[in-house]
Amino acid sequence: ETGVTQTPRHLVMGMTNKKSLKCEQHLGHNAMYWYKQSAKKPLELMFVYSLEERVENNSVPSRFSPECPNSSHLFLHLHTLQPEDSALYLCASSETSGGSYYEQYFGPGTRLTVT
């Protein structure tokens, strides 16, 4: 595997379910990100982990719970979601120092539908 991978690619869940999204990066980066993309809206930064420490939490509801067990893996645990949480969830990684640290590499995303 190369780059940034995400599983599953598609997920349909009920409002009472618990599920997790997984992201893995094979680029040796030390920062990982979760974004939410709703139709016709900008990518919304949800969480940032740098060196496995959460450094950003953009007022995300507690029904979204991130986990970063190591620098290569990032999870987003979901529980009691609402229909308005249906969106494309994108994972990204980057360096946090050096000349190209603004360049983030994205996974293909998980298309989440909450019914």
Partner 1 sequence: DQQVKQNSPSLSVQEGRISILNCDYTNSMFDYFLWYKKYPAEGPTFLISISSIKDKNEDGRFTVFLNKSAKHLSLHIVPSQPGDSAVYFCAAAEVNDYKLSFGAGTTVTVRA
Residues in the site for partner 1, rule: CB under 8 A?
Answer: 4, 6, 31, 33, 40-43, 45, 48, 50, 56, 90, 92, 94-96, 101-109
Question: Which residue, 29 or 114, has its beta carbon nearer to partner 1?
Answer: 29
| For partner 1, the closer CB: 1 or 41 | 41
- The answer to whether 90 and 75 are in contact (CB under 8 A) is no
**Whole-number minimum distance, CB 80 to partner 1, in Å?**
27
First to last CA, the chain: 32
Tokens describing residue 89: 């969830």
Q: How far is the CB of 109 from partner 1 (least distance, A)?
A: 6
For residue 42, cis peptide bond before it (omega within 30 degrees of 0):
no
31, 94 Cβ separation under 8 angstroms? yes
C-beta of 17 vs 44, nearer to partner 1:
44
Shortest distance, position 16 Cβ to partner 1, whole Å? 29
Distance CA 34, CA 32 (A): 7
